[in-house]
Amino acid sequence: MSRILVPCHVKGTVALQVGDVRTSQGRPGVLVIDVTFPSVAPFELQEITFKNYYTAFLSIRVRQHTSAHTPAKWVTCLRDYCLMPDPHSEEGAQEYISLFKHQMLCDMARVLELRLILRQPSPLWLSFTVEELQIYQQGPKSPSMTFPKWLSHPVPCEQPALLCEGLPDPSRVSSEVQQMWALTEMIRASHTSARIGRFDVDGCYDLNLLSYT
């Protein structure tokens, strides 16, 4: 299914913490990232991709456009999605993740704003966030074509004259010959990815020193 990138504006992360940020000892374990779409009309969300950086759990809330005059409400569409199975260890810490429409708890038809709530309960990490956030909406469906009438409603063909016994049915033979031909074409078209195995350049392997880049 094709998808289109939706330009979004990612606001700075806001840490949620009890008490005064300056004086308290620990680091925040909850961060909130707001994502707005200033120049885009309410759209249907297809996919969210990002690169994780030490976030353990992710929740997403969405604000959708509603008709009439009811104010848009925040709805949780993803709750405590686990990105790191063990928050104290590195597993999943820097992985690329995709979240799809069908994984969401609610309909994502007319998205106005998104709010990502990141949680990292482990005190071992100095910081955590998500990076390279990208939002996609559904791409255009394949253009519909109008078929000429004779293609979509073929004239019923006349019954062929009954052949003598013993000869194969011509329509079947032709379909099989077609299959054989298609097979041959396919084999000819496919190229092997076999390597050549040469390490020198035209027989010469006289080298400089090794490069550091």
Longest dimension (CA), the chain: 99
DSSP 162-194: PPPTTSPPHHHHHHHHHHHHHHHHHHHH-----
Q: Which stretch binds another protein (CB under 8 A): 48-56, 64-72, 105-113, 147-155?
A: 48-56
Work out the number of other CB atoms within 10 angstroms of the CB of residue 78. 18
Distance, CA of 100 to CA of 91 (rounded, Å): 22
Residue number with CB closer to another protein (7 or 123) = 123
Name which position in 4, 5, 11, 91 contacts another protein (CB under 8 A).
91
Q: Is 80 in the site for another protein (CB under 8 A)?
A: no
Residue 34 burial class via C-beta count within 10 angstroms: exposed 0-12, middle 13-18, buried 19 and up: middle
Work out the number of other CB atoms within 10 angstroms of the CB of residue 33. 19
Name which position in 11, 15, 74, 86 contacts another protein (CB under 8 A).
86
Q: At its nearest, how many Å lie between another protein and the CB of residue 116?
A: 14
Which token pair is 199? 């390490």
Q: Is 95 in the site for another protein (CB under 8 A)?
A: yes
Q: Is 96 in the site for another protein (CB under 8 A)?
A: yes
Q: At its nearest, how many Å lie between another protein and the CB of residue 182?
A: 12
Residue number with CB closer to another protein (144 or 192) = 192
Name which position in 18, 68, 124, 145 contacts another protein (CB under 8 A).
124
Q: Which of 90, 81, 71, 72 is nearest to 117 (CA)?
A: 81
Name which position in 75, 100, 104, 110 contacts another protein (CB under 8 A).
100
> Assign residue 96 a region: left if phi > 0, alpha if psi is -120 to 50, beta otherwise?
beta
Name which position in 125, 130, 135, 136 contacts another protein (CB under 8 A).
125
Place of tokens 């939706």: 6
Contact residues toward another protein (CB under 8 A) are: 49, 51, 53-54, 81-83, 85-86, 88-100, 102, 123-128, 132, 134, 172-173, 176, 179-180, 187, 190, 192-195, 197-201, 204-213
